[in-house]
Amino acid sequence: MRPASSFSPPQNENMKHKETTRYLICLIVCFTLTACSSVPLAGEKQEDARYPLEKEQSIRWENIKTESFMAIPQEAAPGEPFAVVYVPVLGKVEEKTGQNTYAELYSSAGKKISTGYFWASPLDEDGHGAWIALLTPPSTALSGKTRVRIKEGSSVLAEIPFTIREREFISEIIPLNQQNTTLRVSPDPKKTAEAKRLWAILSTTGSEIYSTAPFITPVPAETRRSSFFGDRRVYRYADGTSDTATHAGIDYAVPKGSAVYSAADGRVMLASPRIVTGNSVIIEHLPGVYSIYYHLESIKVKEGDQVLCGELIGFSGATGLATGPHLHWEIRVSTENADPDVFVARPLPDRRAILQNLLESF
């Protein structure tokens, strides 16, 4: 009979091999699960890595013993919106009303070119916040160093250095037939009434915050653009005369009947036909921030509706003054025409950038 030691080693080696194999399998499984848990799911909203949450949570609001003022960003090209931020002592926005507090943007020559009223914006879940005013250098603004002046009534609270960058725009000539010439140049009391109503909506700075996320394009982003923001236009009328204008938005060359979606969460402020812009929809997204959709074939929302980002609001067409089927998409900020591409590229106002600036000021 063989001693036990003569056959036990092969059994031990086999057991060791099995244990090692199981251990390696466990390591592989654990590594895979950990790696998978760090990968965002499709459609999952991710935090902006530029400003980690732990930095937001380290804000010491009790350290803000004086009012703080900032512009984010500190420079912009014509048509690019930016935020003017007024942080009260301890971040207590409820102790001040923004109805009589506003920001003014000046040109490099010292002329006031844009005005925006402040509204309260929460910055954390504990109720701390800031007063925000959104401004846009007009698409016709000249480049140069300038300033933003913050006022309460007639009193100046602060001045912030600001720079308007240079930007070039393309030019285009648009020939109009007799019908479109008449639509554009002939006086009409109804056109005047429609213009007054439009201005009353766009010049209102409310208090509702429907969306602070980046916008989406109202049609697929890859859709061909037939006109761009800020284009310098020359209209050639049927009688041979001409006139100039600046294009306020983006024209998408979509076929008649293409679906048009809301660019962000908001409330429908206008949904009706207009003489010049045809079937039109205006949606409020932030105080003083409106998206506009013109020349629709049909409208699928009504005034007062609250809509979600990506919700169907109508179908494209060629109603009103249009030389062919397309969608005109426009965004207004404190009444000024703003470049829609900026809203798609980044949130406005950028809450994380505001918090980061506050952290760096301590």
The per-residue pLDDT for range 275-310, each reduced to its tens digit, is 999 999 999 999 999 999 999 999 999 999 999 999
Checking if the pLDDT of 21 tops 80, the result is no
- Tell me the average pLDDT across 303-332: 97
How much is the average pLDDT of 33-49?
34
Provide CATH code, domain 171-345.
2.70.70.10
Pick from 176, 342, 143, 291: nearest CA to 245: 176
- Number of neighbours of residue 184 by Cβ within 10 angstroms: 16
With H, G, I as helix, E, B as strand and everything else as coil, classify residue 199. Answer: helix
Structure tokens, 72: 């984010």
C-alpha distances in Å from residue 183, one per residue of 174, 194, 242, 280, 325:
14, 13, 14, 16, 17
pLDDT on residue 99: 64
According to the model, what pLDDT value does residue 294 have?
Answer: 98
- Please give the pLDDT value at position 96: 61
The full set of domain ranges for the chain reads: 54-167, 171-345
Cα–Cα distance between 19 and 293 in angstroms, integer? 67
Please tell me the least confidently modeled range out of 84-93, 113-122, 321-330: 84-93
For the 54-167 domain, the top CATH level (class) is mainly beta
Q: Residues 72, 50: contact at Cβ < 8 Å? A: no
How high is the mean pLDDT of the chain?
84
pLDDT tens digits, residue range 210-244? 999 999 999 999 999 999 999 999 999 999 999 99
pLDDT score recorded for residue 30: 37
Identify the band that residue 325 occupies on the pLDDT scale cut at 50, 70 and 90: very high
155-193 pLDDT tens trace: 999 999 999 999 999 999 999 999 999 989 999 999 999
Report DSSP state, residue 28.
H
Of 59 and 84, the one with more pLDDT: 84
* Residue 231: closest CA among 215, 218, 245, 212: 245
Write the CA distances from 146 to 55, 70, 74, 314, 339, integer angstroms.
32, 14, 11, 41, 21
- Quick one: pLDDT at residue 362? 64
- Rounded Cα distance between 76 and 327, Å, is 27
- Please tell me the predicted confidence (pLDDT) of residue 98: 56
Task: Supply the pLDDT for residue 36.
Answer: 34
How do residues 63-112 score in pLDDT, each as one tens digit? Answer: 778 888 999 999 999 999 999 999 888 878 876 655 689 999 999 999 99
Q: In the chain, count H helices and then E strands.
A: 6, 22
Q: How far apart are CA 338 and CA 134, in angstroms?
A: 11
Please report the pLDDT score of residue 337 as a whole number: 97
- Name beta bridge partners: 283: 268, 291
- Mean pLDDT value of segment 116-121: 92
User: Are the CB atoms for 263 and 218 separated by under 8 Å?
Assistant: yes
Which token pair is 185? 């140049």
Residue of 46 and 270 predicted with greater confidence:
270
The percent of residues above 90 in pLDDT, for the chain, comes to: 67
